[in-house]
Amino acid sequence: MSAPATTAHGAPAAAPGRSIAAWWQAAPFTLVFALFFLVPLALIVMVSFWDFNEYELLPGFTFKNYVSIFEGCGALGDDMCTTVRTYLSTLKFSFLVWAITLVLGFAVSYFLAFHVRSPGMQTALFVLCTIPFWTSNVIRMISWVPLLGRNGLVNQGLMGAGLVDRPVEWLLFSDFSVTLAFVHLYTMFMIVPIFNSMMRIDRSLLEAAADSGATAWQTLWNVIVPLSKTGIIIGSIFVITIVMGDFVTIGVMGGQQIASIGKIIQVQTSYLQFPLAAANAVILLAIVLMIIWALTRLVDIRKEL
């Protein structure tokens, strides 16, 4: 029986045709990735450099769209340009929603992972968390209108209890209602990866921490949080990227009065200003990629994939 072939350094040589077989196995996934991600992205970048008028797109190469987006953005303060204000508003919603969903998602995941002992009950409660996803986002957003409206149940309850003399105006079509809808819609995207990370924690580590005299808060901060960091980062990427590009929620819950980058792109597209919308999309993509890059520097998310 012949010995396996080895390289000059003593390592086993690759079997003949093995590398070719690996390429063939990866080819379908590569093709799908190219067709549905790289090609559309390349087209968006290409169109962002085109010109346009009221009637047609004008293929070419111009920085006109990028210049018009940041026109008048040289000064800050009260004279801050519309683009900067809109990006700051979008980042504000992303940060608020990220912070709230992180707290809620971590609390729910911690309860399911460490306080629910029965696997069957864990599954049942986890499925219960997914119930909002059984209906469309629009239906879930509209369901807040009869609750938060001027004559909604919340205002009626507050006035009935004598807590306010007149309806509270900021409950609906405001930053509050937009943030509330975002949290309602996207908390599950934070729960799932954090719960997955917590379920992988070796329970003997918690016992060792308790035997060493660590309090519950010390165990949480020094053991559970570091070991759940990968899930936190993945959930953060999901929530931040979705909120950054969302325009439906802000349009419905903001009463078409609150601007966001996603809303601007949607409006520009509806007016057939495709090169301008593409330029905004490229800028938004660049910002989102920088945020993702910064988050992935904190932990190696490949451990969870």
pLDDT in tens, 173-229: 889 999 999 999 999 999 999 999 998 888 888 888 888 888 888 888 989 999 999
Q: Which residue has the higher pLDDT, 117 or 273?
A: 273
How many structural domains are present in the chain?
Answer: 1
Q: Does any domain span residue 3?
A: no
Q: Does any domain span residue 68?
A: no
Whether pLDDT at 16 is above 60: no
Q: Does any domain span residue 161?
A: yes
User: Which residues are registered as beta bridge partners of 52?
Assistant: 57
Q: Which residue has the higher pLDDT, 305 or 142?
A: 142
* Domain, as residue range, for 207: 77-304
Query: What is the per-residue pLDDT across 17-54, written as a single tens digit (0 to 9) for each?
Result: 566 677 777 788 889 888 988 999 999 999 999 988 87
Q: Does any domain span residue 178?
A: yes
Whether pLDDT at 130 is above 60: yes
Q: Does any domain span residue 51?
A: no
Query: What is the per-residue pLDDT across 60-95, written as a single tens digit (0 to 9) for each?
Result: 888 988 988 887 776 555 456 778 889 899 999 999
Measured between alpha carbons, how far is 183 from 277 in angstroms, rounded to an integer? 27
Q: Does any domain span residue 66?
A: no
Q: Does any domain span residue 12?
A: no
The enclosing domain of 214 has a CATH number of 1.10.3720.10
Measured between alpha carbons, how far is 182 from 176 in angstroms, rounded to an integer? 10
Q: Does any domain span residue 245?
A: yes
Query: What is the per-residue pLDDT across 152-180, written as a single tens digit (0 to 9) for each?
Result: 888 888 888 888 888 888 888 889 999 99
Show the beta-strand stretches assigned E in the chain: 51-52, 57-58
Q: How far is CA 50 from CA 42, 72, 123, 275, 276, in A?
A: 13, 22, 52, 6, 9
